[in-house]
Amino acid sequence: MQLNELNNEKLSSLVEMIRLTKPEELTCDDLLAYVATYADACVKDLPVPVGSEPVQQHLSICSECMEEFQSLVNVLRLR
């Protein structure tokens, strides 16, 4: 994509990502170390584990980790 093809829809996604951006964020690999605890709590309807904000922040900004997380939760619910 060229920059002049950046339409309002794509610009809107970028602005939303910029809005959610924090100075320090978990990377996709970092997330894997914490996502199991968070997913287990979600599935069991337990309170959100202390310190989960970076996990939630990454999931809100990274659609691919979110897709993987949703599939993980689906599997855990089947178990």
**Beta carbon of residue 36, minimum distance to other proteins (angstroms, whole number):** 3
Q: Does 75 bind other proteins (CB under 8 A)?
A: yes
Q: At what angle do helices 53-61 and 63-78 cross, to 10 degrees?
A: 120
- Contact residue for other proteins among 16, 46, 56, 60 (CB under 8 A): 16
Amino acid at 13: S
Structure tokens at 70: 């949703």
Residue 39 burial (CB count, 10 A): 17
Residue numbers of the site for other proteins (CB under 8 A)?
1-4, 6, 8-19, 21, 23, 25, 27-29, 32-40, 62, 64, 67-69, 71-72, 74-76, 78-79
